[in-house]
Structure 1
């Protein structure tokens, strides 16, 4: 048996139950998946049972009890997972001041909820994670309807995500550009779909975001 086969046999023997015959445990076969392994294998001894069914998601809100307009906020029952979804697919999930305020509300609630251990940030649909700030709401002097929308405190949102004591995972499909690119960068981990596209629009107009220079 070549060296690679011997290494594979040792890994397989480690994952298979110790009650199996030695010749079977040493055979150079692929290790079983954790979900299909018997309860006595080493993976389950360390990690416990791995659910084979998708989680059950339930809509959530913060302590104010108010609903959300621009985002979806869900928690997986019994899984310790919160999912925050930017829900503006008609604008390629671009954010406006209301979007940012709702994101901050959801992140604050997930931080304070002791049953939540990890937070997922994503965008609605498969075409865009987030395309940055919604430029349709701006003119040369800023937001055209400041009284309705207020300040775009996206920097506060970025700081909030970076300071969260719980891991934040960006789940990116489609475009993550401009401010949307920055949003995934301030998360702890990014999982990208095959169609994910990352980019900064600032350098095209001779603007270099500070956070990009810190990569």
Structure 2
């Protein structure tokens, strides 16, 4: 495991391991290197004995994470990259986050969109600023996140709401995300850091062994979703090679509306 990270920041402070996606210039969208570093950092955090929590956040004031970086989606660092079913090891990142023996907390100060919304969904707890917004964007750009991004989401917010989130790709303010059960708490923007630190301080007083067992128990009930995700991402790989999916990426990068019907 390496501590020489380029796309993330790794720190141990405020009663937690802090893993910060450090790409604010692209709204903390992730690329291959980002995921590789996050996987490494999560494994490293799992061995940190001084704390019971891991806080996942994004640098800057605008975004927690806005999903995959569409500018590299079809480049050698994207679809045709060296690792992961779809080039980027998204499924490995989800597994590393889910398998943490510690309590994972998403600290969301701005946009949690697409893959970023999935990260927040998978985290054990999500605390958000009142300025935060959540939502999916996949079908708008010819993409989808099977498994935890869909099936597990429906466990949190219900089938009808989960389908709405994916089929309409709307954004939901933090207050509405709280109401639907997607997140745990909303606080004024300036109080977000203090609130997360307070939760981490409380969690750090708990038994690490008891927390690890509780997490395994929670995860066991939905572990079949991991299999669904790995199967689904095989289908996504084939879809990403289609002109329909590529049209979504091209349109996003060209800042125009996609014409999916031309290729469907």
Alignment TM class, shorter chain as reference: 0.5 to 0.7
Aligned to 2:4: 67
Aligned to 1:212: 150
Aligned to 2:102: 166
- Choose which of 120, 124, 136 in structure 2 pairs with 1:188: 124
The CA distance in 1 between the partners of 2:20 and 2:76, in whole Å, is 30
Aligned to 1:48: none
Higher helix share: 2
Structure whose alpha-carbon radius of gyration is higher: 1
Contact 1:110-1:116 within 8 A present in 2 as well: no
Change (3 A) 1:137 1:111: same
- Choose which of 89, 103, 112 in structure 1 pairs with 2:47: 112
The CA distance in 1 between the partners of 2:77 and 2:36, in whole Å, is 18
The CA distance in 2 between the partners of 1:74 and 1:183, in whole Å, is 19
Aligned to 1:127: 62
Change (3 A) 1:106 1:206: closer
Change (3 A) 1:112 1:202: same
The CA distance in 2 between the partners of 1:97 and 1:206, in whole Å, is 19
Once the two structures are TM-superposed, the CA of residue 141 in structure 1 deviates from its matched residue by 8.7
The CA distance in 2 between the partners of 1:170 and 1:202, in whole Å, is 21
Change (3 A) 1:208 1:99: closer
1:128-179: per-residue Cα shift (whole Å, max 9, x none)?
00000001113389838847xx931011111111111110000001111111
Q: Which has the higher contact order (CA 8 A, sep 6+)?
A: 2
**In structure 2, the residue corresponding to 1:93 is in which secondary structure?**
coil
Aligned to 1:176: 112
1:27-56: per-residue Cα shift (whole Å, max 9, x none)?
xxxxxxxxxxxxxxxxxxxxxxxxxxxxxx
Unaligned runs of 5+ in 2: 155-264
- 1:32-71 equivalences under 5 Å are 62=1, 64=2, 66-71=3-8
TM-score, normalized by length of structure 2? Answer: 0.51
**In structure 1, the residue corresponding to 2:60 is in which secondary structure?**
coil
CA RMSD of aligned residues (A): 2.7
Unaligned runs of 5+ in 1: 1-61
List 4+ stretches of structure 1 deviating above 6 A: none
Change (3 A) 1:105 1:191: same
The CA distance in 2 between the partners of 1:141 and 1:108, in whole Å, is 26
Is 2:24 aligned against 1:86? no
